[in-house]
Amino acid sequence: MASGPETPARPAAETSRADDEPSAGVDDQVEGPGPAGPQQVVLLSGLSGGGKTAAAKLFEDLAFTVVDNLPAELLPVLAELVASDPERFAQIAIVLDVRSGDVETAYRAVRGALEGRGIRPQVFFLEASDEVLIRRFSETRHRHPLSDGRGMQRAIALERRMLDPIRAEADVVLDTSDLPLRDLRERLFARLGEAQPDRMTIQLISFGYKFGIPLEADLVFDTRFLQNPYYVPELRDHSGLTPPVRDFVMSQPGAHEFLERVEGLLEFGIPAFIEEGKSRLTIAIGCTGGRHRSIVLAEQLAAWLRGQGHGPVEVFHRELERG
């Protein structure tokens, strides 16, 4: 498997991020879910520097066969091979990006070849902000595959346009800008086999506006109109996962009205999204720092969604890692 710029070197003191290589220690031999059916086929795509190399190594830890950087002309042949030998290729991850050439044509060819043989692949797409991608390439001194004298910013913009059709059809989109390797592992493994044609996976992300809006968000809700527990001394150092902060936030009438209005929107929107063929919906809920109000309301909304039978429902509190 070819290594790319998705594994930038970091100083030893830093926490491993999604673009880092996992260490070869025992802890990385993670047991995850087995195949959801006769075969489990993953198409792994995304931006250069977005974390695909780290993700591919995580799939290898689950005993997936990983195929990376295969020329576009050979992808349909690989699809036929996978379909013809389900025992050998019970679990396989195919990395597909701009290095393949005409990436959209290659993607549609391999997906069509698989689905024509009764195999529905699960599509994972990894991305990051322009600032983070540029930093990763600078740190590793790798060359962007589309640079060709364009400059890094223009190369990234071109790659986003080229990969947009794949991103639009992906079952799972992950922004790895601030995602530690541990969380990337958990989120990848949790999503394996979840995609179902008649159901939509719902992801809730709590975040802090001062750290930026999550790139993968489909819907964004702002909770900064509520009183901030940060300014209550006995609550400041506690997160929205603790009962005192939850009680403080939910004691405000505006919190209940907010939830009622969002729930009404989702009652209308979720069936419409499913009818349109959308397989995932990412809802971002923000407050100033991402540690109090947004966490409380994300958890409340997740409980309601599960109670209504929607899902699978995944919750990710982005700023908790910041300490």
**pLDDT tens digit string along 36-50?**
446 889 999 999 989
Angstrom CA distances, 259 to 204, 224, 286, 302, 323, stand at 14, 14, 14, 11, 27
> What tokens appear for 223 in the block?
């909770």
Residue 11 lies in a domain: no
- Strand-pair partners of 284: 205, 220
> What tokens appear for 232 in the block?
């209550």
- The verdict on 84 and 210 lying in the same domain is no
- The verdict on 210 and 313 lying in the same domain is yes
pTM for the model: 0.55
Q: Vertex 321, ends 320 and 323: CA angle to 5°?
A: 75
Residue 14 lies in a domain: no
CB atoms near residue 200 (< 10 Å)? 22
Packing angle of the helix pair 152-169, 103-115 (nearest 10 deg): 20
Residue with structure tokens 């819907």? 219
- The verdict on 191 and 221 lying in the same domain is no
Residue 223 lies in a domain: yes
- The verdict on 133 and 215 lying in the same domain is no
Spell out the residues 6+ positions from residue 91 whose beta carbon is closer than 8 angstroms to its own.
Answer: 34, 35, 39, 40, 62, 63, 64, 65
Residue 12 lies in a domain: no
Q: CA torsion 16→20→24→27, rounded to 10°?
A: 40
How far, in Å, CA of 50 to CA of 19, rounded?
6
- The verdict on 172 and 37 lying in the same domain is yes
Q: How confident is the model at residue 277 (pLDDT cuts 50, 70, 90)?
A: low
- The verdict on 119 and 179 lying in the same domain is yes
- The verdict on 219 and 153 lying in the same domain is no
CB 229 within 8 A of CB 245: yes
Sheet holding 40-46, edge to edge: 65-67, 91-95, 40-46, 122-127, 172-175
- The verdict on 211 and 169 lying in the same domain is no
How far, in Å, CA of 6 to CA of 127, rounded?
10
Spell out the residues 6+ positions from residue 4 whose beta carbon is closer than 8 angstroms to its own.
Answer: 48, 49, 52, 53, 69, 99, 142
- The verdict on 158 and 89 lying in the same domain is yes
User: pLDDT tens digit string along 108-118?
Assistant: 988 988 888 88
Residue 146 lies in a domain: yes
User: pLDDT tens digit string along 94-135?
Assistant: 999 888 778 888 899 889 888 888 888 999 999 999 999 998
**What pLDDT, on the 0 to 100 scale, is given for residue 200?**
77
Segment holding 29, helix H or strand E: none
User: pLDDT tens digit string along 173-183?
Assistant: 999 988 887 77
Q: Which of 171, 195, 219 is the last residue of a domain?
A: 195
Spell out the residues 6+ positions from residue 98 whose beta carbon is closer than 8 angstroms to its own.
Answer: 48, 145, 146, 159, 162, 163
Residue 316's domain comprises 202-322
CB 174 within 8 A of CB 127: yes
